[in-house]
Amino acid sequence: MNKYYSTKMSIFVFAAPALLLFTVFCVYPLFPEIWMSLHNHDGFRNLGFVGLDNYKDMLSSSSFWLAHKNTYLIVGISVLIGLPLSLMLALFMDVQNPRFRRIFKTSAMFPAILSVTVVSQIWVSFYDPNWGLFNTILKSIGLESWTHSWLTERKTVMPSIGLSFLWQYIGLNAMLFYAGIKTIPKNYYEAALIDGANFVQVCIRITIPLLQDITKYVLILSTLGSMAFYAQVRVMTAGGPGDTSRTVVYQMYYTAFGTSEFGKGTAIAVIFILECLLISFLIQRFVAREKLEF
């Protein structure tokens, strides 16, 4: 019993500093935010208690739901397209010779270490309707009817921004998957090759199942990172045209700082936090529930 108690105390002692920092910087700030969301606040003065009116106004706002639609579109691009591509890149990299692998690693990580502002400006130039890369290529191969003003048309603006986000972080996710692949014992692959398994069978039966922990991590990272999508929108379109490309975080920023309605802005923030917590819980609850042992 004393040994058990001693172990518990040791865990608490080592976890206490991190727990204290998390409480001070993450948990405690939520309470003033929730309190502000229940008031009419202009950023400087508290203009009175309004209860849940800020939440009602936001939930009945078309801009609020459009921002959610845009946010989950980015999440869909990141998870449904980005994760499979990242995994395929990692599998491809694993079977290459060391020299090519080093070059690939550098190329894959380069976009992720660049500033979001720099990446966004690069893609703004790609999307320029007059001399941008995409329209120039389409014109050169006789597909001028396919050209668009990519960042000012309602149908193309969000997929265009999502593509830039996908390009910046797909290499980082591939490196995470690659790191997971290197932890799988080689004798599994040797046994599979002796049994006559081909590359696809090895990937499906061995590699992908044993990557479930890193897959869960990358899924959480990609999903929550996509949920917090803001900087690219701010640089590339400033939420335009109109409110077409606003995400939840951008809508929160615009409501608080653009219209000085900090109560409503913090109401969006509270809703956003609850959504992120719910998504994290669902991923933890339903993805890779059973731990596989090597």
> What predicted TM-score, i.e. pTM, was given to this entire model?
0.88
Q: At residue 1, does pLDDT exceed 80? A: no
Count of domains for the chain:
1
- Which pLDDT does position 108 carry in this prediction? 82
Full domain range(s) for residue 145: 29-286
Digit-coded pLDDT (tens) for 5-40? 667 777 888 888 888 998 888 888 889 889 999 999
- Which pLDDT does position 289 carry in this prediction? 65
Over residues 203-228, mean pLDDT: 90
Q: At residue 188, does pLDDT exceed 70? A: yes
pLDDT band at 200 (very low <50, low <70, confident <90, very high): confident
Instruction: Answer yes or no: is 56 within a domain.
Output: yes
- Which pLDDT does position 290 carry in this prediction? 65
Q: At residue 292, does pLDDT exceed 80? A: no
pLDDT band at 2 (very low <50, low <70, confident <90, very high): low
Q: What percent of the chain has pLDDT above 90? A: 48
Q: Which of 85-89, 97-101, 140-144, 276-280 has the lowest mean pLDDT?
A: 97-101
Taking a C-beta distance cutoff of 8 angstroms, is the pair 174, 86 a contact? yes
Instruction: Answer yes or no: is 190 within a domain.
Output: yes
Instruction: Answer yes or no: is 128 within a domain.
Output: yes
Q: At residue 53, does pLDDT exceed 70? A: yes
Instruction: Answer yes or no: is 203 within a domain.
Output: yes
Instruction: Answer yes or no: is 293 within a domain.
Output: no
Instruction: Answer yes or no: is 3 within a domain.
Output: no
CATH of the domain at 257: 1.10.3720.10
